[in-house]
Amino acid sequence: MSQFKILQSLEEAIAYIKSEWRKEKPEERFDEFLSPIFFWILVAVLPLTYTFLTEREIQEGGIFAVFSENKLLFGASIAALPLLVYVTWIELTNNRPIRKSALQQMFYVQCYITSPVVLLLTFVFRLTTTLSMFQWYLLLSIAALVCYETFVMKTELKVNWLKALGNAILPLIATAGIIGAVVLISIMT
């Protein structure tokens, strides 16, 4: 029963963003709830940034150490990568030109949809104490992301569930490839 409530809330988030986007005056958008960007920063970026702090940074600055410009930019970059990959994938798959307004609207959708998964991944990275425990939670987190994105792909691409699943997995593989390449390059230099 709770799975249907989750799907319903995802559908409502997408509908809310689209209805807010239709408002003529940008300053009237997202008055009812947190803006997608602010929600993303609170739920995804700040907790993820905290995971990159060293013990020394935490001892010296406490929780406010996340507001260090370099750390915050690094956390935002990591949190934005899957969002940008999925947003671009949706636009390319729909054969639509890559326009700022279309990307921004889909980015807002992704902010609401993926932030809880990024938060879950953050807990996985920070709280797991053994490699086997980490692998198990990481697998569950990735499965949650694929489920969320399958729903978004079905809604945005207007395809069946199987095609939606494929379109949810392929950008994830691309994201993993990009991250792997960055790690490999950083190790080699």
Cβ proximity of 147 and 10 under 8 Å: no
The DSSP code for 95 is T
Res. 1: pLDDT tops 70: no
Residue-level pLDDT at 167: 92
For 33-60, the pLDDT digits (tens) are 788 889 999 988 888 888 777 788 878 8
Q: Per-residue pLDDT averaged across 64-70, rounded?
A: 77
Is 80 exceeded by the pLDDT of residue 179? no
- So where are the chain's domains? 2-188
Residue 102 pLDDT exceeds 80: no
Assess whether pLDDT exceeds 60 at residue 86.
yes
Work out the average pLDDT over 129-134.
Answer: 72
Task: Please tell me what DSSP assigns to residue 26.
Answer: G
Span 82-103, mean pLDDT? 82
Q: Which pLDDT belongs to residue 169?
A: 93
Q: pLDDT of 132-152, one tens digit each?
A: 777 777 788 788 888 888 988
* 153 touches 164 (CB < 8 A): yes
d(CA 171, CA 179): 12
Residue 148, both tokens? 């969320």
Predicted local confidence at residue 160, as pLDDT:
94
Both tokens of 80, joined, read 């934005």
Q: How far apart, in Å, do the first and last CA atoms of the chain sit?
A: 51
- The pLDDT of residue 106 is above 80: yes
Q: The tokens 């990307």 sit on which residue?
A: 103
Contact 96, 106 (CB under 8 A): no
Model confidence, pTM: 0.74
Of residues 167 and 2, more confidently modeled: 167
Length of the chain: 189
